[in-house]
Amino acid sequence: MIVPPRLSNELQGVIVRDLRIEDRLAIGKILAESPEAARWSADSLLEAASGGMRAWVAELNGEMSGVLVGRMAADEFEILNLAVLRAHRRQGIASRLLDAALRWSRGAGTKRMLLEVRASNQAAIGLYARYGFIACGRRKQYYRNPPEDALLFARTLNEEF
């Protein structure tokens, strides 16, 4: 059984909710600070979220701190983008967003979650490993600016998550 990491008490002020149109400027700031995340504009992210994809944001004490966007295809959920403000990294924001995506996916009948990450993004790789994601492939030179391989990860969902 995979048990997600315990969240610290410093996250008591975190609220995770669905992305809204009025989040556009704050999302733009998060994405501008996150060159390791997928290069989406805030407008394209909002358009994707309104077009059938799922998107959550995390607020820490009223400040927009992170965003996660994904899509369902058959019985799989693919995380397309996950980004957190630099000042709020390593505080569990990404964990809270992943928890929301996992809960939603389980309720939607998802059997497997997928994602890709820059090969150099050790912090993200460590987070995904703690959540039971397993490396299952590599896409050569997938990312641009700078060019870099993408590592593919997957996780089978069960009743515990």
Burial class (CB in 10 A: 0-12, 13-18, 19+), 126: exposed
**3-state DSSP call for residue 20?**
coil
Q: Which of 38, 33, 17 is nearest to 100 (CA)?
A: 17
State both tokens at 36. 């390791």
Which residue numbers are catalytic? Answer: 116, 128
Q: Are 102 and 161 in contact (CB under 8 A)?
A: yes
Start-end of H helices in the chain: 24-32, 42-50, 93-107, 122-130
Per-residue HEC secondary structure of 64-99 comes to EEEEEEEEEECCEEEEEEEEECHHHCCCCHHHHHHH
